[in-house]
A and B are shown apart, each in its own frame.
Chain A
Amino acid sequence: MEEKKLMKGNEAFAEAAIRGGCHLYFGYPITPQNEIPEYMSRELSKHGGSFVQAESELAAVNMAYGGALTGHNVFLSSSSPGIALMQEGISFMCSAEIPVVMLNISRGGPGVGGIQPGQADYRQATKGGGNGDYHVPVFAPASVQESVDLIYDAIPIAERYRNPVMILADGMLGQMMEPVTLPEHRAVRSEAELLAEKPWALNGHGDKRERMVIQSLHLKPEELEAHNMHLEEKYQSMRKELPKYQIKNCKDAEIVFVAFGTMSRIVNEAIDQLKTEGITAGLIRPITLWPFPEAAFDEIDPSTKVVISTELAIGQMMEDVKSAVAGRFPVELIYRTGGMVPTPMEVARRAKQILEAIR
């Protein structure tokens, strides 16, 4: 096992992608994720990969589309407005069944917004900004180590489903430093091994095999419907196989918080503070935001008074929380937005007010 290193989130994420087998990286600078392209530009070629700074995010996502068509693993990163520009490409890659891992180090929006941490890309990530019937699995890490692990694991998940996978982190995770244990480098596959695993890959037929076409254009509605049904089967498998969550202290909890990523860490501390005031509170932490881990909500004790969606966004995840709670408990909201991050004390105080109003 490797020794623990103190690493800045963004640099650890880039290293995790390299060790996971990322061969091609395309990006365009945007705060607060600039250390990722910087790291990739320096390190990726040392491992036989290629780094390209595109002229825009739109170009980067389409380079990723083209690069991944060759069967090589592609990693993309950006931040909120940059990811917004990539939405068309995500829809196209879902249709064309292109495995790409993308990382959003999100910041406050809408628009150009600010550069401080935000979670207001929840809807963009989970519901999609592109057109058509498509889904992207979205993983939401809460620490530098978990980000590293999820990025590393996302690469084979993208390959298995032939679908883009997104990691939704935020500026705080990208900028902070924590000790990490890095995973081993995945074995490098030869071109022949790659093609055996990915017979769909476009590597130039050289008149030795039939010409293959990958596209997202299906002009005949019968064909397109059949294609969409095929994609839907994959999405159904993802719904069964991917949901992941962590539950803390949900037995006998008066309050059950629902929070992901950075916010879940603040809530964890708020739970400890509430405990000193005699209030028991628990936490459901979705690790997959899509598919949303609805099963977690069956573990809430019937005596729970309120479920509180706690977000760096104005009730975006709350829509999924309400759907998962399905009327069994009142659902309330605690949020900050625009790059503001609450302290644990602030969350505890507001939760207490909500609980008192319900009692």
Chain B
Amino acid sequence: MATHKYFFAGFGGQGILMLGQIMAYAAMIEGKEVTFLPSYGPEMRGGTANCTVIVSDGPISCPIIDQATCLVAMNQPSLVKFESLVSPGGHIFLNTSLIEQDVARGDVIVHPIPATDLARDIGEERAANIVMLGAIHKMVGGVKRESLEMALKKVLPESKAHLLALNLTALDAWKQK
């Protein structure tokens, strides 16, 4: 039974919760079991934000994780704080536009992604979360590309529907070398 345990972390305002929601929605569209657990409280007003998304082929008993199979650190404090959360052999996605530090551990797979820079290149710095989502999709899989597109359509509120094309561009902004 395949289970992905994602932990997304960054600043409030970086779209961390939206990132987690899109991943959760995409997995649900594919008929997978899913839980989305956000941090809540003062984080929403700036400071740090994080969420846990579990995607599984079988029932998920607990939405709280001991270990993540995939950490997505959108800023430096998130890497420092949550590096130890990743299970051995797990993945760490680094937003290298904002993180200068290296991953100290040697037992994890590190993916350096300049998400904020790539997002700025396509004209919308705030789409860094979606750039990262595209990278996760390419390197870890978990859900199909078309599910992510459908999820984007579901999660974007009507008032933001015009941003769909931009988000789809963002999804492809990072290319595997």
**What's the Cα separation between A311 and B126 when bound, in Å?**
41
Instruction: Tell me if B158 counts as interface (CB < 8 A to partner A).
Output: no
Q: How far is the CB of B84 from chain A (nearest CB, A)?
A: 13
Q: Which of B11-54 touch A at CB < 8 Å?
A: 21, 24-25, 28, 33-38, 40-41
Question: Is there an interface contact between B62 and A178, defined as CB atoms closer than 8 Å?
Answer: no
**What's the Cα separation between A292 and B62 when bound, in Å?**
24
Question: Is there an interface contact between A116 and B35, defined as CB atoms closer than 8 Å?
Answer: no
Please give, as numbers and ranges, the residues of chain A lying within 8 Å of B35 by CB-CB distance. 176-178
Please give, as numbers and ranges, the residues of chain B lying within 8 Å of A177 by CB-CB distance. 21, 24, 35-36, 38
Please give, as numbers and ranges, the residues of chain A lying within 8 Å of B36 by CB-CB distance. 6, 176-178
Residue of A nearest to B61 (CB): A268
Instruction: Tell me if A4 counts as interface (CB < 8 A to partner B).
Output: yes
The range of chain A's interface size is: 20 to 34
B interface majority secondary structure:
mixed
**What's the Cα separation between A344 and B65 when bound, in Å?**
8
Contact of A116 among B25, B34, B38, B41 (CB under 8 A): B41
Residue of A nearest to B154 (CB): A6
Question: Is there an interface contact between B61 and A269, defined as CB atoms closer than 8 Å?
Answer: yes
Most A C-beta atoms less than 10 A away, residue of B37, B64, B154: B64
Q: How far is the CB of A5 from chain B (nearest CB, A)?
A: 8
| A177-B36, A179-B34 given; A266·B41 CB < 8 A | no
Question: Is there an interface contact between B38 and A272, defined as CB atoms closer than 8 Å?
Answer: no
- 6 additional A-B pairs beyond A265-B63, A268-B62, beta carbons within 8 Å, are A6-B28, A31-B41, A172-B37, A176-B36, A265-B64, A343-B65
Q: Residues of A at under 8 Å CB distance from B?
A: 4, 6, 31-32, 115-116, 171-172, 175-179, 265-266, 268-269, 272, 341, 343-345
Interface pairs (10), CB distance under 8 Å: A6-B21, A6-B28, A6-B34, A6-B36, A31-B40, A115-B41, A176-B63, A177-B35, A265-B61, A341-B64
